[in-house]
Chains A and B, each alone.
Chain A
Amino acid sequence: MRFDFDDEQREIKETARSFLASRFKPAKVRSLAEAGEYDDALWTEVCELGWPGIAIAEEHGGGGLGMVELMILCEEIGYACAPLPFFSNAAAGLAIEWAGSDEQKASRLPGIASGEARGAIGDDAVVIDGPGSAVIALFGGSGATLVETSEAGLEPLDLIDATHRYSRAGATEGEPLDGDLEAASGRMAVAVAADLVGVAQKAMEMSVEYAKDRKQFDRAIGAYQGVSHQCAQMLFDVEEARSLTYFAAWAADAEPDSLPLAAAMAKARASDAAWDVCKAAIQVHGGIGFTWEHDLHFLLKRARAGGQLFGTSGQHRERVAALAGLG
């Protein structure tokens, strides 16, 4: 029994942390978010690192690693609050890998793995990162289809989270994804949960730093329990969400029977944790945290969006209750 990363996984995490820190400095995140754009050159760099295909089988041009490695990248990208079409592409890859036919895998996965023919993901209400993608895995009702992006009739949606591109699909006809949708959606939930854990971790670190620096009534505000206990609550929330998310990723690779329940738990907890931590972060920062000039709101809005997408915490809790004995 060992609940931590092996050397290779730790290296992936460290590389991702330093790459993202150098490429997505706060000013860069802000300029991309304010312009509502992605930086194509940065996406190319991400593709050269092999990230988009990290969990796609080698026979389809991927790295052949597992959900744990993909989760590590998602968490780091969330931590950097990076505007990248990474999650949507990875989620489309998971949908096709787990629910697609052999033909769909052979025709779509290589482009998704290389990042040259991106996939996007969505449902009846929202498509993430549609523009610029080749194909959209669209979930709706009890099924899912693969829709050519050019035929999806995308209409842009202006949502509060400016670190991703959102739209609505006007047309939903496409090829059905007939395989194990639960295996796909469980993994997708874990990927979003990981992004949320990263977002929450970042908001917590910013709050703790601020609470050490900011002085009122002649002492650092972090010495007051009204503030320090909010920070302790942040750690409680982040670590619980992290434990559940890491476990769900491990279950996806090593114990797939446990995945449906583990993924629902992870997504429910991470959705609540990211929102609660970001809310508290704004409170701890006081007035400055409420300004557009401060970067916290990008995290808060990303947390809000991630919490809504692929099932709210309430919906995932309902699933937990159903799977764990209440029928």
Chain B
Amino acid sequence: MDLTLNESETAFRDEVRSWLEANHPGQEPHGDLEAFKFRRAWQLKMHEGGWAGISWPKEFGGRGATLIEQAIFAGEMARADAPAPANILGLVMGGPVIMAHGTDEQKERWLEPILSGEEIWCQGFSEPESGSDLASLKTKAVKDNGGWRATGQKVWTTFAHESKWCMLVARTDNEAAKHKGLTYFICDMEQDGVEIRPLVQITGEAEFNEVFFEDAYIPDENVVGGEGNGWMVAITTLMNERAGLGGGAAVAVSRDLGALIELIKERGLQDDPMIRQRVADLLIGTEALRLGGMRALTAQMKTGIPGPEGSLGKWEWAKLNQSLTELATDVLGPDGLAKDTPWTYRMLRSRANSIEGGTTEVMKNIIAERVLGLPRLR
């Protein structure tokens, strides 16, 4: 066992840290439009510094960082409280899918604008009747004049209104088994057949959208991985999503926990034994998340792929974020009920953590079936 960084890893961490110190864009402005412009400018700066495609191979304009370097980078971003780049879905999902399954023309066309943030990407997977059971999705695409026409509804589509491209999974064969009749498209969002409506969530904000496709046109060259292979291509994306989310999670929770401890002291509650027990539970869970991440990273360095054990981290992260923000609003007492205050907003927002990116119940299914080898219910 060696849980320290070696010389070159330490040097890498210092390089990231000093770059972030010199280039940190400061506090994000209020308002969706302003915030998005800010994140776009930030991504361009990251790209110019060679950090936007940290995990991307060099041949595609990325940095080609090792797994440990990626983890260090994610940790430093969280530590500095740096904003996420605007085109996060393009960077962690769209780009990797094109690199893994795309043609040379597709790589040439799409990768560079993803890195620079010039073209924003969104994800058209979930539907009102297809959440955890993604493969049951109903949006369909039919052949038309050298291309396809897509019709259906997608939901929980982040940044749809800012996006040029949508990673759209649609049913192209009604006869085939449900996992086999899907195709993965890159659909142009700037056309009449695409309508976007903001979806207001329990926080009162609209981070997400509903997207309605009505005979939206997609040329043949925008099919990724071939007709009927949509499920296999989409799964790559989801694995990247989970791996992409994992890196900085423990550092971010740890940073928030530090802020919570300060809040507890400000409110003079540091001697309350119940609060001390709850804080200790959070500290222990956060440390377990950090260490579990190091173990998963060690395993991934050997096997080359993220294992199903990653589901434990997603589960713990959601649980921690929810407990942490609940405790913060308990500490605030009646002030914790005030609308649009940071902790209260986060307490409400955290309810989604055990749903988005795979529900905690799905994480438990994955662990039961793929780690413990229990029989499938279906």
Q: Is A326 an interface residue (CB 8 A)?
A: yes
Asked whether A3 lies within 8 Å of B3 as measured between CB atoms, the reply is yes
Q: Is B371 an interface residue (CB 8 A)?
A: yes
Contact of A1 among B68, B265, B377 (CB under 8 A): B68
CA–CA, A68 and B3, complex, Å: 13
Chain B 262-288 near chain A by CB (<8 Å), digits 1 or 0: 001100001001001101110111011
Contact of A229 among B258, B270, B361 (CB under 8 A): B361
Q: Is B236 an interface residue (CB 8 A)?
A: no
Asked whether B9 lies within 8 Å of A265 as measured between CB atoms, the reply is no
Asked whether B376 lies within 8 Å of A223 as measured between CB atoms, the reply is yes
CA–CA, A278 and B287, complex, Å: 23
With both chains docked as a complex, state the minimum distance between the C-beta of A227 and any C-beta of chain B, in angstroms.
8
Which secondary structure dominates chain A's binding surface?
Answer: helix
Q: Chain B residues with Cβ under 8 A from A211's Cβ?
A: 374
Asked whether B283 lies within 8 Å of A208 as measured between CB atoms, the reply is no
Q: A223-B376, A244-B287, A265-B283 are in contact. Are A325 and B295 (CB under 8 A)?
A: no
With both chains docked as a complex, state the minimum distance between the C-beta of B324 and any C-beta of chain A, in angstroms.
14
Q: Is B176 an interface residue (CB 8 A)?
A: no
Q: In this complex, what residue of A is CB-closest to B287?
A: A265
Contact of A231 among B287, B316, B374 (CB under 8 A): B374
Q: Chain A residues with Cβ under 8 A from B369's Cβ?
A: 228
**Count class of interface residues, chain A:** 35 or more
Asked whether B375 lies within 8 Å of A250 as measured between CB atoms, the reply is no
With both chains docked as a complex, state the minimum distance between the C-beta of B360 and any C-beta of chain A, in angstroms.
9
Q: Is A317 an interface residue (CB 8 A)?
A: yes
CA–CA, A326 and B264, complex, Å: 8
CA–CA, A66 and B145, complex, Å: 71
With both chains docked as a complex, state the minimum distance between the C-beta of A47 and any C-beta of chain B, in angstroms.
27
Q: In this complex, what residue of B is CB-closest to A234?
A: B372
Q: Is A4 an interface residue (CB 8 A)?
A: yes
Asked whether A232 lies within 8 Å of B309 as measured between CB atoms, the reply is no
CA–CA, A219 and B377, complex, Å: 9
With both chains docked as a complex, state the minimum distance between the C-beta of A222 and any C-beta of chain B, in angstroms.
4
Asked whether B372 lies within 8 Å of A208 as measured between CB atoms, the reply is yes
With both chains docked as a complex, state the minimum distance between the C-beta of A236 and any C-beta of chain B, in angstroms.
6
Contact of B295 among A3, A220, A233, A236 (CB under 8 A): A3
Asked whether A4 lies within 8 Å of B284 as measured between CB atoms, the reply is no
Among the interface residues A224, A233, A321, which one has the most CB atoms of the partner chain B within 10 A? A321
Q: Chain B residues with Cβ under 8 A from A4's Cβ?
A: 1, 295, 298-299
Provide a sorted-by-A list of 18 A–B residue pairs whose CB atoms are within 8 angstroms: A1-B68, A2-B3, A3-B3, A4-B299, A212-B374, A225-B361, A225-B377, A228-B368, A228-B377, A229-B361, A231-B372, A243-B292, A246-B1, A247-B3, A247-B287, A250-B1, A321-B280, A324-B283
